[in-house]
Amino acid sequence: MALTPEVLQNIAFSKKMGFDKLDQLPPAVTRKKMKQIPKNPAPIPVGEVINYIIPGENILVRIYIPEGAGPFPVVSYFHGGGFVLMSVDSVDDICRQICACSVSVVMSVEYLLAPEDKYPKGPDSCIKATKWMIEHAEKYKADGKRIAVGGDSAGGYMSLYAAQKLTLEGIKLKAQFAAYPVTDHFTSNHFSYNENKEGYILTAQIMKWFWGNYLTDDSQIDEASPLRTKVFSGLPPALVITANYDPLRDEGKAYADKLIEAAVNTIYKNYENIHGFLGTGKMGQEALKVACDFLKDKLSD
């Protein structure tokens, strides 16, 4: 199938930003360059935005609160970046849209990054932040009993990982959302890793580099791969979105399939686009609306 103009535009923009060469510089250098990306001059308005560092954890969260009195449900959101890059700034537009469209408090989490903080410190910080929000929800016009987790790319991984661990702890989430998530270690060699190994910005080589920074102990591969968990039953309703031209496509679908096999209420959608398209262009806006509608529905009761 020929690539659409929207997909070609996404590829051209990503190349211009150097996203096809993320593995060629030290992470600290790339992070510094990413801070120079221009911000949206007209961000979607929400009621209030609060930056806060969780005491004792050194975890920055950015909390988006809708207009109105509340209490509102909560979405704990995790940014992408291959476990290594990006920040709450990277997903500011996405979080604003989720806040406004789903009428939810959105807590965007700046979780600990590799290689400085290797597995499991990143996902552990996501879990700690989510539990902190449950406990302190009332301070932010929020209802800690109506909470979902969400994220894109490595943030989708964080969302699925957190949902597993929080469920095991007896914390009942209302929903989980993941856009083109990492769910499995690259050594599983899913078909899409070969089919889409290069040419679509996120390459198989870049993903291997991300994993190499994130996980250095091979004995932890199974526990660090959400797809390899033994129990899927009891997990919250899920929305999993994948991109067709993406090395991660098949592991994302495999995760959705396992949820469905375990009788978890699951929606799976695959878009004819590349990794990172959420919120970008007509297709990306459509996918983000699907996510907002899903979250609004699951958080409504």
- Give pLDDT, residue 38: 82
Question: Tens-digit pLDDT profile for the chain (301 aa)?
Answer: 679 999 999 999 899 888 999 999 899 999 988 888 888 888 999 999 999 999 999 899 999 999 999 999 999 999 999 999 999 999 999 999 999 999 999 999 999 999 999 999 999 999 999 999 999 999 999 999 999 999 999 999 999 999 999 999 999 999 999 999 999 999 999 999 999 999 999 999 999 999 999 999 999 999 999 999 999 999 999 999 999 999 999 999 999 999 999 999 999 999 999 999 999 999 999 999 999 999 999 999 7
Q: Which token pair is 110?
A: 């700046």
By the 8 A CB rule, do 130 and 166 touch? yes
Cβ density class 99-115: b for 16+ within 10 Å, e for less: bbbbbbbbbbbbbbbbe
The strand order across the sheet containing 105-110 reads 48-54, 59-65, 105-110, 72-78, 142-152, 175-179, 238-245, 266-274
- Give pLDDT, residue 37: 81
C-alpha 232/C-alpha 216 separation (Å) is: 26
- Give pLDDT, residue 240: 99
Residues 6+ apart with CB under 8 A from 252: 156, 178, 180, 181, 183, 240, 241, 242
pTM above 0.95, yes or no: yes
Domain boundaries, the chain: 5-298
Amino acid at 299: L
- Give pLDDT, residue 33: 84
Intra-chain end-to-end CA distance of the chain, in Å: 42
CATH superfamily label, 5-298: Alpha/Beta hydrolase fold, catalytic domain (3.40.50.1820)
Amino acid at 79: H
Of 34, 22, 123, 7, the C-alpha closest to 76 is 123
**If you count them, how many residues does the chain have?**
301
Catalytic positions are 153, 246, 275
Secondary element (H or E) of residue 129:
helix 121-136
Residues 6+ apart with CB under 8 A from 195: none
